[in-house]
Amino acid sequence: MKTTLIILAAGVVFAALLVLYPQALINPGSLLAGHSRLQKDCLACHKPFRGVASEKCMRCHVPENIGVMTVADEPLPGPNHRARFHKQLIEADCSACHSDHQGPEPARATRGFSHDLLARATLNRCEGCHDQQRPTDVTHQNVVAPCRSCHTPTGWKPATFDHARLTAAGQNACQSCHAKDRPADALHRDISQSCRQCHSTSRWKPSTFDHRRFFRFDRNHPSNCSSCHTTFEDFTQYTCYGCHEHRPAKIAREHREEGIFEFEDCTRCHRSGDEHDIRYRGRQEGAQEHDRRRKRRENEEEDKEHEHEREHEFML
């Protein structure tokens, strides 16, 4: 009996306080500055036992005027995305995003926004609200695809990327984004053409390379880089002695006999494995030496012929 009386008394006191001081019992915190005049008028926004009613919010905040006019019908300066945004919500549920009571932890009292509240047409047109947030780097300047092709409404990062979403100019300007990724070896330092001449946007390797500018491959000279290029740090360096049985001394002697003194760079003259495909590119003095040797051999042959004639005459 005593316990029942205590419970009844507590109920009466609670009911009295609920009527006289409702904000002291159920108010989750002070209102934001704009609604401070409604601090003690709970029913201005709430329906009893049903929470906040959006239709009550829209008595002051007309969706068509949000971002355009103040609640006092005064025009707001400049274009504002909030006007378009609020008119295209799929549901008029103000409390889904807004919470005017700051409470003991204001940061937690404000609810987060969800893109799921947007109509599909608006959801796919990110720049309608975020045009001022578009990055200004070279990559985004050349993107022709919509934001949703790389990003998702739930997070800016992580993002997917496909070079096919770039403009033609962007796809060919590899160094605008990958300047720091350019290899530092001698081969790449001497290449002035676009990276896409050898590489594709889908992967760095494998790559193509027009080796015919330097030497044409055949069945006896396959494209096995390590056979000729023994120093991968500098692809301008190569050797033909890795496969050929010729000794350097023998090669030197054969070339010097022809008046060729610059023979270390084989591909200057030998552009393929065809022995008849030879283009001499030696120094001018080499060619002159070759002519002198030829004339000397001709003179020696003439002298031998004259000596033979004299011996023949002596015998007669």
Does residue 282 have a pLDDT over 60? no
Residues 6+ apart with CB under 8 A from 42: 22, 23, 26, 27
Instruction: Provide the CB-side half-sphere exposure for 314 (13 A, CA).
Output: 6
Does residue 108 have a pLDDT over 70? no
Does residue 109 have a pLDDT over 60? no
Give percent above pLDDT 70 in the chain: 78
Supply the DSSP symbol for 274: -
pLDDT at 112: 66
pLDDT at 73: 82
Could you tell me the pTM of the whole model? 0.46
Q: List pLDDT tens digits, range 194-249.
A: 787 788 887 777 777 778 888 888 888 877 777 788 776 677 788 887 776 677 78
Residue pair 165/147 in contact by the 8 Å Cβ criterion:
no
Domain ranges of the chain: 31-134, 135-209
Residue pair 60/71 in contact by the 8 Å Cβ criterion:
yes
Does residue 314 have a pLDDT over 70? no
Mean pLDDT, the chain, integer: 76
Alpha-carbon span 217 to 26, nearest angstrom:
87
Structure tokens at 136: 């200004």
- Vertex 299 angle, CA 294 and 303, to 5°: 150
pLDDT at 111: 62
Does residue 165 have a pLDDT over 70? yes
Residues 6+ apart with CB under 8 A from 192: none
* Whether residue 63 has a cis bond before it, omega within 30° of 0: no
